[in-house]
Amino acid sequence: MVVLKTSRELGIMKEACRISAGALQTVGKAVEPGVTTFELDKLAEDYIRSQGGEPNFKNYHGYPATACISINNEVIHGIPSKKRKICAGDIVSVDLGARFDGYNGDNAATFACGDVSEQAKRLMDVTENALYEGIKAACVGNRIGDIGGAIQKFVESAGFSVVRQYVGHGIGTDLHEAPEVPNFGTAGRGIRLLPGMTLAIEPMVNAGHYDVKVLPDGWTVKTKDGSLSAHFEHTVVITPDGPKIMTLV
């Protein structure tokens, strides 16, 4: 069931989203050669708690950390580790969120560690811009398919592919609510967008084929062909005046 949020609920949720955005920005600034993914995860948790929130990924369906940190050909759900050091030239996708007073925020971005390849730069740029193409389509009266269709068209016109197995989602008192928000689809299809809907829109884009595989840890998702992957996400509210991004510092 899709839950439409009241202005009071949106006010609380905006604070959860502000904390989420601040944590993501903090982690992004710390991405540099030699830092471990565990250290980045600790930065995220410390920031979220310092702002009065709590990490909403931690222990979610058994996930063991505050952030998902995925490197290069890892798409999503990379588990932070004291043994995993970031290297110059890596691209590092960070996905995290915060809960505040019962409401959730969720956001993600891919960061470059030093100088990265031209393909990596272009992949990151296309993925981030695809997110904004999807957000632009998130208008009252449009349908879920308009969001996914806009993202897919933009990504594929650039020669990349959109991951099919994982999608965006509604968000509120639950981290994952209805509706699902695919990053592919047909404009004019799916449920209609209404004021008060809150969506986590999150294109995951591969430089090669869209097929992925889950590693034996049960969490980490990698591209099946070993190609690079990037991930960007914002939590957005649908309003009569157009979509509003909530995950801003």
Helix axes 7-30, 37-50, angle to 10 degrees: 140
Q: Which residues does residue 170 pair with via DSSP β-bridges, in sequence order?
A: 177, 199
Cα–Cα distance, 125 to 159 (Å, whole number): 13
What pTM, to 2 d.p., does this model score? Answer: 0.98
Domains of the chain (ranges; CATH) run 7-245 (3.90.230.10)
Per-residue pLDDT in tens (0 to 9) along the chain, 249 residues: 899 999 999 999 999 999 999 999 999 999 999 999 999 999 999 999 999 999 999 999 999 999 999 999 999 999 999 999 999 999 999 999 999 999 999 999 999 999 999 999 999 999 999 999 999 999 999 999 999 999 999 999 999 999 999 999 999 999 999 999 999 999 999 999 999 999 999 999 999 999 999 999 999 999 999 999 999 999 999 999 999 999 998
Q: Token digits for 236?
A: 């957005």
In this prediction, residue 246 carries a pLDDT of: 98
For residue 196, the Cα-to-chain-centroid distance in whole angstroms is 20
In this prediction, residue 107 carries a pLDDT of: 99
DSSP state letter for 193:
P
In this prediction, residue 32 carries a pLDDT of: 98
